[in-house]
Amino acid sequence: MKAFIVDRYKKKGALRFGDMPEPTLRDDDVLVEIHAAGLNLLDSKIRDGEFKLILPYRPPFILGHDVAGTVVRVGSKVQRFKPGDEVYARPRDGRIGTFAEFIAVNEADVALKPKNLTMDEAASIPLVGLTAWQVLVERAGLRKGQKVLIHAGSGGVGTFAIQLAKHLGATVATTASAANTAMVKALGTDVVIDYRSQKFEEELSGYDVVLNSLDAGTLEKSLKVLKPGGKLISISGPPDPAFARAQGLNAVLRLVLRLMSAGIRRKAKRAGVDYSFLFMRADGEQLGRITKPIEDGTIRPVVDRVFPFEKLNEAFAYIETGRAKGKVVVTLK
């Protein structure tokens, strides 16, 4: 099958378009013919080698964490899906590879595609939708009447998280450029902080939750907007000891991650705030729950651009400019 391949780790290295064997179907897998795949900065970071210690993929391998397509074959133990089903998924770590014509995915990671979305739109959802859900619902327990700050509101996670937070009944603030203010307000944002002309840590206070996807400086400043007992949840690091334990990392890596996060954990404790790092996981059942507010129109996908599959490297160059609003997708069909 045709695929885009990482032959070696290299910062901003181009992926090679070539042939790879069709994936082997396990008993609890569904084989999906890929119609569209979403791009994420996680893909760029893996290609650059930033996650080699935590996600040790061996080149040559296929990147890609978001898929929408059609089931063409199922394993002998699969019960929830059949050939012809239109599905979407975020394949689990260790089994990624959506920048290809086919992928085998464990059925536990798969959900039926929302009926009201195109394949391109559906491919934009899984990773950012699950990230937002696991931060706001699972980790934060966000409730009606609470206040949440979502950094980078015009990005992939931000556009989804804003809508989910409003669906949960929260008051939502976000950081964005002036050019993107109208867009994030249309998604439901109550307070927009122009990060070029305003300091969010001086404008906001008394917040229950912060979702951070930016740098260490932003992470530390975010402590100032939280009330005592608030939750600072970062998807951009630094990883904490709980993450190291959950990943089953060796003693050396556990120590490294403990030291990396020691500063922010100490400052959070001093401020009476709970700091945690979240690395989202594949979960088809959660994705199925996300489908409902999508199908009833409460949450809509935000797709900036759709590239043809053969221009995947151009799509990567575009998301790495940091100017994409929402998600970027490549289409195979």
Render pLDDT for 265-286 as a digit per residue (tens, 0 to 9): 999 999 999 999 999 999 999 9
- Residues in a beta bridge with 233: 211, 276
Q: In this predicted model, what pLDDT tens digit does every residue of 281-332 receive, in sequence order? A: 999 999 999 999 999 999 999 999 999 999 999 999 999 998 899 999 999 9
Please state the rounded mean pLDDT for residues 151-173. 98
Quick one: tokens of 317? 């160059």
Alpha carbon 90 to its chain's center: 9
Give the pLDDT confidence of 31-66 residue by residue, as tens digits: 999 999 999 999 999 999 999 888 889 999 999 999
Q: What is the mean pLDDT of the chain?
A: 97
Q: What is the pLDDT of residue 232?
A: 98
CB atoms within 10 A of CB 44: 17
- pLDDT tens by residue, 206-249: 999 999 999 999 999 999 999 999 999 999 989 999 999 988 99
**Domains located in the chain, CATH noted:** 2-125+301-331 (3.90.180.10), 128-277 (3.40.50.720)
Q: What is the pLDDT of residue 123?
A: 98
In this structure, the number of other CB atoms found within 10 A of the CB of residue 50 comes to: 15
Which is it for the CA torsion 215, 216, 222, 227, positive or negative?
Answer: positive
Least confident of 108-122, 149-163, 231-245: 231-245
Which pLDDT value is given to residue 53? 83
Classify residue 143 as exposed, middle or buried by CB count within 10 Å of its CB (0-12, 13-18, 19+).
exposed
Mean pLDDT value across residues 95-101: 98
Q: What is the pLDDT of residue 333?
A: 84
Number of neighbouring beta carbons within 10 Å of residue 129: 30
- Taking the C-alpha atoms of residue 307 and residue 324, their distance in angstroms, rounded to an integer, is 13
* Cα gap 148→230, rounded to integer Å: 10
Question: CB-based contacts of 11: which residues, under 8 Å, 6+ apart?
Answer: 48, 49
Q: What is the pLDDT confidence band of residue 4, given thresholds at 50, 70 and 90?
A: very high
pLDDT-above-90 percentage for the chain: 95
